Every structure is written in structure tokens, then in C-alpha cells.
Copies of this chain bind each other. A is one copy, B any other.
Amino acid sequence: MRHDGRTAQQLRPVTMTPNFIIHPEGSVLIEVGNTKVICNATIETRVPHFIRGTGKGWITAEYSMLPRATTERTSRESSRGKVTGRTMEIQRLIGRALRAVTNLEALGEKTVWVDCDVIQADGGTRTASLTGAFVALALALDKLDQEERFETFPLTQYLAATSVGKVGENLVLDLDFVEDSSADVDMNVIMTSNGEFVELQGTGEEATFTKREMFDLIELAEGGIQQLINLQRDVLGEVAQSIGRQDETNE
């Protein structure tokens, strides 16, 4: 039994509120327990210079936390004049993972910006951001699909993420802040709806882990991600059809 009454294999309550902000092409508020992230997707009709002229699109992500998303106030990156290494790591990770399930040729010469803004943090902000970012991206692409029908819908798979870790002697799913702070091993896992891996980052926090523990953690993550993808399907509703459409066409 965990400090908040969950079993080792149990996610915190997850809700996703689509169209949370009115301006973006895709928007969702994702809540994973007390962690709350606004994910907004913006479509821009130009691409970064390094792929200009290739006919391919690009997806990029930015991540930030409100100063009082955290227990103690964190100073703003804009005030400090630079983005921390942690923020850079997270936004590079989110962009890379989203691109792994996107057919960039099908997208065409467009950039999708996905902004993940954590308004309240309680552990797992990067995996919640990723899970929400996928939904915002799907909503934005669906909107574009309605305006100018894609031949092939650019999303090839669902994508979701969760964290697993070793807390004391226990391997647990979806760590909250209290668990995360005392974990010896922390692993973030990103998977697709067909059960493949996009990214796996396991870290011993001044500790090491065995191959056995690694395998068990991965299994825990698989269970959690399956549930998250089911929730994404529910929220996306009809949009889910497009992702399906893509699957059939491509394979």
C-alpha cells in the first residue's frame, strides 16, 4: 500500500479536458492526480531552415512551469534570462517522441509547436506533458484535416508516457512528488499503441539497478501506458478514427 492508498500498479486519477484554451488549434488540460498541465498545439505554415525544401514537416515542443506550480516558488526562466538544462531535456524529449509517431512527409511543410505549461506540479510533469501533448497534437491535426483533408493522416500511432520507479524496496507505477523525491531509481517510458518503445530513460539517483529490476519496471510501465492510451481514445472520440485510418492506409 502506497502513502496515498494506491497499489503498486495503480495510476493516479487522470482526466483530460479538450479545447481548454480557445485560441490554439489543439488544446487540452491534462490532470494526473494533482499534476496539471495545459497543452496547446499551434500549426505554423513554415518549417525550420534545416528541413526547408524537403517537403517534410516538423514538430517541436516547449515546456515550462508557472513559478508556483511547485511547493516552493521557482524563479522564472525569463527573468533569469536562460532556460535550465532540465527544461531543455524535457522539451527535446517531447518533440522527439511526437515526431516518432508522426509521418512528417504526410504533414507537409508545416511546423507544429506544442506548448506544455505546468500550472500545478506533483510529480510526473514530463510524462503528463507528453501524454497531453499527443492529444493536443491530434486535435490540431484533426482540425487541419477538416479544413484541407490530408491524404494520409500524419499520426501513425497513439503515444503516451508514464514514470515508474523503485521507492524503498518497492517498484511502483506513476510516482507522485513524495515518491519521486525518495526514489532510488526513476524510469520514464514512452510507448505507442502497438506496444513499441519510443524512449526509455532509466536513472539511478546516486544508486544503481539490476537487469531484473529494469525488466520489472518496464512491465509496470506497459500496464500504465495501455490505460493512458485508452483514456486518450475516449477523449479524442472521432479523431481516433483518423489515427485508425492512417494505420490501415500505411500498413
Q: Is the CB of A199 within 8 A of B206?
A: no
Known A-B contacts A192-B208, A197-B202; the reply to A67 vs B115 at CB < 8 A is yes
**Contact residues of A between 46 and 84, Cβ < 8 Å to B:** 62, 64, 66-71, 73, 76-79, 81-84
Which residues of B lie under 8 Å from residue A236 when comparing CB positions?
none
Q: Is the CB of B204 within 8 A of A208?
A: no
Known A-B contacts A100-B208, A119-B119, A199-B203; the reply to A23 vs B89 at CB < 8 A is no
User: Quick check: is A12 within 8 A (CB to CB) of the other chain?
Assistant: no
Write the nearest CB–CB distance from A54 to chain B, whole angstroms.
Answer: 13
Known A-B contacts A23-B68, A42-B73; the reply to A200 vs B218 at CB < 8 A is no
Which residues of B lie under 8 Å from residue A120 when comparing CB positions?
21-23
Known A-B contacts A23-B68, A211-B218; the reply to A201 vs B201 at CB < 8 A is yes
User: Quick check: is A44 within 8 A (CB to CB) of the other chain?
Assistant: yes
Give Cα distance in the complex from A73 to B24, angstroms.
Answer: 8
Which residues of B lie under 8 Å from residue A71 when comparing CB positions?
23
Which residues of B lie under 8 Å from residue A69 when comparing CB positions?
21, 23
Contact with B along A89-114 (1 / 0, CB 8 A): 10110001001110010000000010
For the complex, count residues of A whose C-beta is within 8 A of B: 68
Give Cα distance in the complex from A70 to B27, angstroms.
Answer: 13
**Closest B residue by C-beta to A199:** B203
Q: Is the CB of A197 within 8 A of B206?
A: no
Candidates B117, B208, B210; contact of A66 at CB < 8 Å: B117
**Chain B CB within 10 Å — which of A78, A187, A209 has the most?**
A78
Write the nearest CB–CB distance from A134 to chain B, whole angstroms.
Answer: 14
Which residues of B lie under 8 Å from residue A113 when comparing CB positions?
67, 73
Would you give 13 A-B contacts (Cβ < 8 Å), ordered by A? A21-B68, A23-B70, A24-B68, A38-B66, A40-B68, A78-B78, A81-B82, A101-B208, A104-B206, A198-B204, A198-B208, A199-B204, A201-B202
Besides A78-B82, A117-B119, 16 more A-B contacts (Cβ < 8 Å) are A21-B66, A24-B68, A40-B66, A42-B73, A77-B78, A79-B83, A85-B85, A89-B92, A100-B205, A100-B206, A101-B208, A119-B119, A197-B204, A197-B214, A198-B208, A200-B201
* 7 cross-chain pairs, A with B, having the tightest CB-CB distances, nearest first: A85-B88, A77-B78, A196-B208, A40-B68, A24-B68, A200-B202, A78-B78
